[in-house]
Structures are given as C-alpha cells and as structure tokens.
Amino acid sequence: MHVFVDGMNVIGSRPDGWWRDRPGAMRRLVSGLDELARESPDRITVVFDGRPIEPAPEAARVEVLFAPGRRGAADDEIARRVGDSADPGSIRVVTSDGELANRVRGHGAEVEGAGAFRRRLEGG
C-alpha cells in the first residue's frame, strides 16, 4: 500500500497551537510518520502546501514533498499522483478534505480521515 498524507490537513485536524510554529508542526508530523513507517510495510508520502522549509524535515523512510503555488496545491499534487498511478487501488489517501477525497476515490484509491489517522499515529 502507498499512503499519501495530506500534511496540513492532518496537522490541522487538532487545534493544538500548530499555527504558532507551522515548520515545527510539519517536522513533528514527519517524525511521527517516520516512526510509523518503521513498523509498517506501507510506503508513505506526505505532501505539504508551500515551499520547502529550512531546515528540511528529516525522514529516513518517508518521502516528503512540498507543492508550491496556490492554496490547495498539495491536494492537486496528491490527486495527480493517484490519477497517474498504474494501480490506484493500492493507494490510501489520508485527508478529511471532502473534495480531495472525492477526487481520489474517483480514481479508485481508499481514503482515511485525518483525525482517525492522527489518533492512530499518536497511539491513541
């Protein structure tokens, strides 16, 4: 399974003050995904809106992508990658964005809600 994570959607699923340190929130999510990837056979890609942050998030097992441009560029990148896949049925997209969920389901991908995923990621 290839899991695409809508990064800012997962971060924003809990109002924990992430907006005071957006780069820090991104690094924490990537770190948690890297831990998950250590225990999972799934390939994980996280996509964030905007330009890359410095210093870049460190991840040995997670592909970290930034989609510069307008708001929603990460959604477009995820939908494009799912649509371009030879086997979209082997893809799960983590998002609670209804429009993105409909787009990727239309290609045959599974969708997991951001809140449920974050609870699972954090062991709760």
- pTM of the predicted protein model: 0.95
Average pLDDT, the chain: 94
- What is the domain count for the chain? 1
- CATH code for position 87: 3.40.50
Q: Which domain holds residue 61?
A: 2-121
* 7-16, 84-93, 114-123, range with greatest mean pLDDT: 84-93
Q: What 3 state SS string does 63-115 have?
A: EEEEECCCCCHHHHHHHHHHHHCCCHHHEEEECCCHHHHHHHHHHCCEEECHH
Task: Convert the pLDDT of each residue in 13-53 to its tens digit.
Answer: 988 899 999 999 999 999 999 999 999 999 999 999 999 99
